[in-house]
Chain A
Amino acid sequence: GNSVTQMEGPVTLSEEAFLTINCTYTATGYPSLFWYVQYPGEGLQLLLKATKADDKGSNKGFEATYRKETTSFHLEKGSVQVSDSAVYFCALIGGGSNYKLTFGKGTLLTVNP
């Protein structure tokens, strides 16, 4: 079946530091890949997505590139802000599970001023 593995948190950074949150996946077929973000006390929101190999998703300064050869979709941001503090979820749809989004376990990011 499909699965998503992302780095365990929590991750604590200072403002303007570089962020990487690793995500790797297992899926049959050609999945679509997503990063969702959950701010404190809120539901999840889609941050970015990529639907085929070598696609780069980007939004709000965050980027992730769909790497089929390494089955990865790492999230990066060059300079984080305090307002980026949240839980980040890597997710995929694919491999016949057309109706089910499979999430990773989430990574808590805290950015200090």
Chain B
Amino acid sequence: DTAVSQTPKYLVTQMGNDKSIKCEQNLGHDTMYWYKQDSKKFLKIMFSYNNKELIINETVPNRFSPKSPDKAHLNLHINSLELGDSAVYFCASSPQVGGRTNEKLFFGSGTQLSVL
């Protein structure tokens, strides 16, 4: 009964391949996110969806495409993988409290992507 679950936990692939990471939350939250954490632990937001609508789209290569089939799921598809895409990718979700979202984020345990 994990709150925010993402799969796979580890992903090792060759340069040029296309891969997807899936995320699901069973908390009933309205907002979901994808963050990228580099080897120095720096955490950078990539995308955010609120009720299936894209609300944050940071400067991310268009090889990265999020898809939210419903508000409990936010998947991340990556085309033509590059060495620099190697990182840990975290999915997160948050409730809306008093009209403000983001008061508390719940994170998944991460997907470690290694591009060889």
Q: Which residues of A line the B interface, CB within 8 A?
A: 32, 36, 38, 41-46, 49, 87, 89, 93, 98-101, 103, 105-106, 108
Cβ of B43 and Cβ of A106 under 8 Å apart?
A: yes
**Is there a chain A Cβ closer than 8 Å to B34's Cβ?**
no
Other-chain residue from A43, A98, A99, A103 in contact with B108 (beta carbon distance below 8 A)? A43
- Residues in B neighbouring A44, C-beta threshold 8 A: 43, 90, 92, 105, 107
B107 nearest CB neighbor, chain A only: A43
- Residues in B neighbouring A98, C-beta threshold 8 A: 100-102
In angstroms, Cα B109 to Cα A44, docked, is 8
A108 nearest CB neighbor, chain B only: B41
A101 nearest CB neighbor, chain B only: B102
Cβ of B103 and Cβ of A99 under 8 Å apart?
A: no
Known: A43-B4, A43-B92, A43-B108. A105 touches B102 (CB 8 A): no
Other-chain residue from B41, B50, B90 in contact with A43 (beta carbon distance below 8 A)? B90
In angstroms, Cα B42 to Cα A105, docked, is 5
- Residues in A neighbouring B100, C-beta threshold 8 A: 93, 98
Cβ of B102 and Cβ of A93 under 8 Å apart?
A: yes
- Residues in B neighbouring A41, C-beta threshold 8 A: 109
Other-chain residue from B40, B105, B109 in contact with A101 (beta carbon distance below 8 A)? B105
In angstroms, Cα B101 to Cα A45, docked, is 17
**Is there a chain A Cβ closer than 8 Å to B31's Cβ?**
yes
User: Which residues from 59 to 98 on chain B have a C-beta closer than 8 Å to any C-beta of chain A?
Assistant: 90, 92
In angstroms, Cα B112 to Cα A64, docked, is 31
Cβ of A99 and Cβ of B102 under 8 Å apart?
A: yes
- Residues in B neighbouring A108, C-beta threshold 8 A: 41
User: Which residues from 37 to 59 on chain B have a C-beta closer than 8 Å to any C-beta of chain A?
Assistant: 40-43, 45, 48, 50, 55-56
Known: A49-B104, A105-B41. A43 touches B110 (CB 8 A): yes
